[in-house]
Structure 1
Amino acid sequence: MKSLFLALPGLAHAALRFGCSTLTIERLDPVVEPGNNPSAHVHQVVGGNAFNATVDTSVDVGNRATCTTCIFSEDKSNYWTATLYFRARNGSYHKVPQYPNAVFHDGQVGGMTIYYTQQDFWDNGNQKITSFPPGFRMTVGSPTTETREQAQQYKGLRYTCLQDILTRGSETYDFPKQPCPAGIMAIHHFPACWDGKNLDSPDHQSHMFLTGHGGFRVADPCPASHPVRMPQVAYETMWDTSVFNDKDLWPEDGSQPFIWSTGDTKGYSTHADYLFGWEGDSLQRAMDSNCFFQRCSLGKYPEGVLKVQTPEEQNACKIETTVKEPVDGCKFAPLQSLFEAKS
C-alpha cells in the first residue's frame, strides 16, 4: 500500500471523507427546477443554509451561507438525493430514516457521507486537481430512468445491501430484493472531468465527463473536450430500512416495498445533485495537501488544513421549511398521487 502522507513533487495523497447532518427534507431543487416551489419530488438535503428554491450560477454559496451541517465548517456546499420511502400495506408511505456511516456516530443526525478523492482513492496520479469554481453545479443519474439497461449507463450509481455498517462490495443497479439487516446504502459517484468553461449545462451533466469505472478505482485520463481534472465527488446515504424488515409489513406478494420519491420501485431512477459552496480556497488547499480523511482537521493533526466544527454546531444549522406539505405517513399527500400514477 502507498504511504498516505508521502510528499513528492506534484504528487498529493489527499482525500476527504466526512459526515453532514440533514439540513432539510422537502420538494425543492434549485439546479433542475430553479424557482419551483414545490419541485417534482421530495429531496433529502445536507450542507449550507443558503439552500432555497433559486440559487443561480451568479451566487457564491460559500459566501452567502452562514452555517453548514457538514463537519468541515468551510464547506457550505449543498448535496442532495431523492428520498426513500417504505410503502405500507395500508397504502401509506413512510420516510425511511437515515443513520450516520461508520466513524460518524458522534452526534451526526441523519444526512450523508461525502467524499472528495483524486484520480483514485489514494493520489492525484501526478495531476493537478482543480477545485470547482463558485457557482458550479452538476447532477448524476436521472429521475426518469426506468430500465436496467438505462441504469447501467451510470457507472457510479449503485446499492449495497448492508449486513452491518461496514459492508462493502456486492453492489447492485436495483433495490435489494430481500430485507437487509443493517439497511440499504445508496451510492452516488459524480464525473470529475470538466470542460473548463461552463458552470452548468442545459442537462446539468454535459459540462462534465466521466472517465471513472465505478467505486474509487483509478480513473482514465480526461479527454480533450473536458481537460480539467476536478475532485471526484461521491455520496453514501445509509437508509435504515431495517426498521421495516418485518415481512408482515411487506406487500402480500413478497415484492420489495421501498420506493424513491420519484415513484420508482426498481431503484433505477436514483440520482444526485451537487452545488459547490466551499469558502475561498479551502477545497483547493485540501486537494493540494497530503491530508487524509479526519487528518484534514486543522489543529487536530499535523496534516490538517480545514476548519472543523462540533456535532452540536452542525446540527444547529437549520433552514425554514418552505414547502408546506407532509413528507411522512403520506396516504393522501401529493406524492401519493405521483406514486399511484407510476404504478
Structure 2
Amino acid sequence: MQWFILLVQAGVSYAALRFACSTVSIQRLDPLVEPSRIPSAHVHQIVGGNAFNATMEGDIGEQGTCTTCAYTEDFSNYWTAVMYFRHENGSYKRVPQYPNAQLGTEGRDAPDINGGMTIYYTQKDFTSNGDQYITAFKPGFRMTVGSPTTNTLAGAEAHPGLRYTCLQTILTRGSETPDFPQKPCPAGIMAIHHFPACWDGKNLDSPDHQSHMYSTTKGGFQEAGPCPSSHPVRVPQIAYETMWDTTVFKDMLPKDGSNPFFWSYMDSLGYGTHADYVFGWKGDSLQRAMNDSCMFHKCGSPGMQGVLKTQSVADMNKCSVTETVTEDTDGWLTELPGQMTAKRFTA
C-alpha cells in the first residue's frame, strides 16, 4: 500500500505513533523464546530500554534507566534476527541498518541514529482512528510474530504482516514480497513485521507467545478486520520497519545472481522472518497517546510539544546494555554465531 502519501497528509489521520529507536544491543539473547539461555540460538538486533537481559521478568517500564527510543517513557524492547551477507568465499558479514525516512539526523552537525529500526503504534489505518477504544498493553505483556521454523512459501504467505520491500529509494513503499528480493535493491531491503492487534484480555503471555493474540492484519497499513469473540480487546497495531543497507555489498554480489543474504538463523529464503516484543511504557503514557488525536511527530518530537516526552538522537545513541554474550557478530565470520550445526534454509 502506498501509505507514504497518506503520511504527509497528517491532518486527516489520528492517534498513530511513528518513531525511531537506535540499537541498544546486538547479541545472542532471546528472553522470550529462550529465557535464561546464554547464549541463545541466533543473533538478534535489539532496540529500546536498557533493562534488556536474558530473563526479562516483571514490569520492564520500571526497571530501565534509559532507552534508545525517541520517546523517553518507552522502555519496551523490540527485536528481530540480524541480516548477514554471505561472500562467495563462504564468509559472512553483518548487514548494517540505516534510519527510516524523516527520522534521521536533527541537523548537519548532529549525530545520526545508530542503526535500529522504526516502530509504529496505530489504531486503524492512516486515514482514520476508527470508533473503537484502543486498550494499551499492561505491564508484563509480551508477544512474538512469525517463526524461524517457517521454511515454505505457503507458510510465509499465510502471514500477510511479515514482508519485504526491495527499496528503489528510501521512500519506496508497496511491492511487498513474502521472501527475500530476488534481485539487487538500489537502496537496500526493508524488513516489515506487523504484530496482531486482538488480545484475549486475560493473558499477558502464552506458552507459544502468540496464542493470547489473534491477527486480523491484511498486510501493509490497511485497516485490520474486526476482532473475534475469543480475542475481543483491540490493542495498538504494532509494526517494525528495519532498513538493511545491502548496498554496501554491491561490488561483491554473486556472479550467478543467487541471493547472498541470510537471516542469522541460516535462512536465505526469508520465509522464517520473526520478531519479539516486550511492553515497557512507563505508567499510563501509551494509553495517553492512544487517547489523544495526535499523529506521528505531533505526538511529540524535539522542538514540538506533544502528549509524549522526547529525547535527542544523541541521548538515544548513548543508551546501551552490557554485553552478556561476548563474541564477534560484526566482522567477517567463517560461520554465523550458533549456526555451525544448524539446518540451513536455502533455495
Fold-level match, TM-score > 0.5?
yes
Mark the CA change 1:341 to 1:161 in structure 2 (over 3 Å): closer, same or farther.
Answer: closer
Q: CA offset at residue 251 of structure 1?
A: 3.1
Any residues of structure 2 matched to 1:124-163 within 5 Å, and which?
A: 124-163=129-168
Name the SS of the counterpart of 1:176 in structure 2.
Answer: coil
| Distance (Å, rounded) in 1 between the aligned partners of 2:69 and 2:10 | 24
Change (3 A) 1:181 1:4: closer
Which whole-Å deviations, capped at 9, do the CAs of 1:69-107 have from their partners, x for residues lacking one?
A: 001010000000000000011211100000000011112
- Where does residue 9 of structure 1 map in the other structure? none
One-letter amino acid of the counterpart of residue 275, structure 1: V
SS of residue in 2 equivalent to 1:337:
coil
Q: 2:104 is matched with which residue?
A: 105
Question: Contact conserved, 2:145 with 2:210, CA < 8 A, in 1?
Answer: yes
User: RMSD over aligned Cα, in angstroms?
Assistant: 1.9
Q: Kindly provide the amino acid, as one letter, of the partner of residue 94 in structure 2.
A: K
CA distance in 1, matches of 2:343, 2:203: 38
How far apart, CA to CA, are the structure 1 residues paired with 2:41 and 2:60? 23
Identity of aligned residues (%): 63
**In the superposition, relative to structure 1, how do residues 64 and 164 fare at CA in structure 2: closer, same or farther (>3 Å)?**
same
Q: How many residues align?
A: 333
1:101-125 CA deviation, whole Å, 9 max, x = no partner?
0011112110000000002224331
1:70 corresponds in structure 2 to: 69
Write the deviation string for residues 268-291 of structure 1: whole angstroms up to 9, x where unpaired.
Answer: 010000000000000000000011
Contact 2:302 2:312 in 1 (8 A): no
Residue aligning to 2:209: 204
Report the CA distance shift for 1:299/1:147 in structure 2 as closer, same or farther (over 3 A).
closer
Trace 1:78-89 onto structure 2 (pairs within 5 A): 78-89=77-88
What 5-or-longer segments of structure 1 have no aligned partner?
Answer: 7-11
Which of 179, 185, 193 is equivalent to 1:180?
185
- After superposition, the C-alpha distances for 1:262-318 in whole angstroms (9 at most, x for unaligned) are 11010001000000000000000000001110111178446x100000111101101
Match for 1:250 among 245, 249, 253? 253
Secondary structure of 2:275's counterpart equals: strand
Measure the CA separation in 2 of the matches of 1:80 and 1:277.
Answer: 13
Residue 204 (structure 1) shift: 0.5
Equivalence map 1:279-290=2 (5 Å): 279-290=282-293
Q: 1:153 to 1:333 in 2, by over 3 A?
A: closer
**What secondary structure does 2:50 align onto?**
coil
Given that residues 208 and 226 in structure 1 are in contact (C-alpha distance below 8 angstroms), is that contact kept between their aligned partners in structure 2?
yes
- In 2, the alpha carbon distance for the partners of 1:65 and 1:168 equals 34
Per-residue CA deviation, residues 28-87 of structure 1 (Å, 9 max, x unaligned), is: 01011100111111000000000000013xx11111011000010100000000000000
Partner of 2:14: 13
**Partners in 1 of 2:230 and 2:342 — Cα distance?**
40
Separation of aligned partners in 1, 2:253 and 2:301: 47
